[in-house]
Amino acid sequence: MERQEIFEKLNEIFIDVLDLDECNLTDETSANDIEEWDSLSHIQLIVAIEKAFKIKFSSLEIMKWNNVGEMVDSMLQKL
Protein backbone atom coordinates (compact mmCIF):
# COMPACT_ATOMS: atom_id res chain seq x y z
CA MET A 1 0.00 0.00 0.00
CA GLU A 2 1.20 3.49 -0.80
CA ARG A 3 1.93 6.00 1.93
CA GLN A 4 -0.58 8.45 0.48
CA GLU A 5 -3.28 5.77 0.44
CA ILE A 6 -2.66 5.04 4.11
CA PHE A 7 -2.99 8.73 4.99
CA GLU A 8 -6.30 8.98 3.13
CA LYS A 9 -7.69 6.00 4.97
CA LEU A 10 -6.36 7.30 8.31
CA ASN A 11 -8.08 10.63 7.75
CA GLU A 12 -11.39 8.79 7.41
CA ILE A 13 -10.76 6.77 10.56
CA PHE A 14 -9.83 9.88 12.55
CA ILE A 15 -12.95 11.71 11.34
CA ASP A 16 -15.06 8.74 12.37
CA VAL A 17 -13.52 7.98 15.78
CA LEU A 18 -12.92 11.56 16.90
CA ASP A 19 -16.11 12.91 15.38
CA LEU A 20 -14.29 15.57 13.36
CA ASP A 21 -15.64 17.63 10.48
CA GLU A 22 -12.44 17.21 8.50
CA CYS A 23 -8.94 15.90 8.96
CA ASN A 24 -5.65 16.40 7.15
CA LEU A 25 -2.98 14.32 8.80
CA THR A 26 0.66 14.88 8.04
CA ASP A 27 3.84 13.13 9.17
CA GLU A 28 4.25 15.67 11.97
CA THR A 29 0.69 15.56 13.31
CA SER A 30 0.49 14.45 16.93
CA ALA A 31 -2.11 14.40 19.72
CA ASN A 32 -1.11 17.96 20.60
CA ASP A 33 -2.57 19.16 17.29
CA ILE A 34 -6.07 17.75 17.61
CA GLU A 35 -8.12 18.70 20.65
CA GLU A 36 -10.36 15.60 20.53
CA TRP A 37 -7.32 13.28 20.49
CA ASP A 38 -6.87 12.39 24.17
CA SER A 39 -5.55 9.30 25.96
CA LEU A 40 -8.85 7.44 25.71
CA SER A 41 -9.55 8.19 22.06
CA HIS A 42 -5.89 7.33 21.32
CA ILE A 43 -6.66 3.73 22.22
CA GLN A 44 -9.94 3.81 20.27
CA LEU A 45 -8.03 5.08 17.23
CA ILE A 46 -5.49 2.28 17.48
CA VAL A 47 -8.22 -0.35 17.75
CA ALA A 48 -9.98 1.12 14.71
CA ILE A 49 -6.75 1.30 12.69
CA GLU A 50 -5.80 -2.27 13.52
CA LYS A 51 -9.27 -3.41 12.48
CA ALA A 52 -9.37 -1.40 9.26
CA PHE A 53 -5.92 -2.42 8.04
CA LYS A 54 -6.04 -5.93 9.52
CA ILE A 55 -2.74 -5.50 11.33
CA LYS A 56 -1.57 -5.80 14.94
CA PHE A 57 0.87 -3.50 16.67
CA SER A 58 3.03 -4.45 19.61
CA SER A 59 2.75 -2.42 22.82
CA LEU A 60 6.32 -1.18 22.48
CA GLU A 61 5.69 0.03 18.94
CA ILE A 62 2.65 2.00 20.03
CA MET A 63 4.53 3.62 22.91
CA LYS A 64 7.44 4.64 20.70
CA TRP A 65 5.44 6.75 18.25
CA ASN A 66 5.82 10.50 18.58
CA ASN A 67 3.63 11.45 15.63
CA VAL A 68 1.48 10.07 12.81
CA GLY A 69 4.51 9.75 10.53
CA GLU A 70 6.16 7.27 12.84
CA MET A 71 2.90 5.33 13.17
CA VAL A 72 2.63 5.12 9.36
CA ASP A 73 6.25 3.88 9.19
CA SER A 74 5.26 1.03 11.53
CA MET A 75 2.20 0.31 9.40
CA LEU A 76 4.19 0.16 6.16
CA GLN A 77 6.36 -2.55 7.65
CA LYS A 78 3.30 -4.68 8.18
CA LEU A 79 1.41 -4.05 4.94
Question: What residues line the site for another protein (CB under 8 A)?
Answer: 38-43, 46-47, 59-60, 62-64, 66
CB of residue 23 vs another protein: minimum separation in angstroms? 18
C-beta of residue 26 within 8 angstroms of C-beta of residue 49: no
CB of residue 15 vs another protein: minimum separation in angstroms? 17
- CA dihedral sign, ordered 13, 68, 61, 59: negative
Compare residues 23 and 46 and give the one whose CB is closer to another protein. 46
CB of residue 6 vs another protein: minimum separation in angstroms? 20
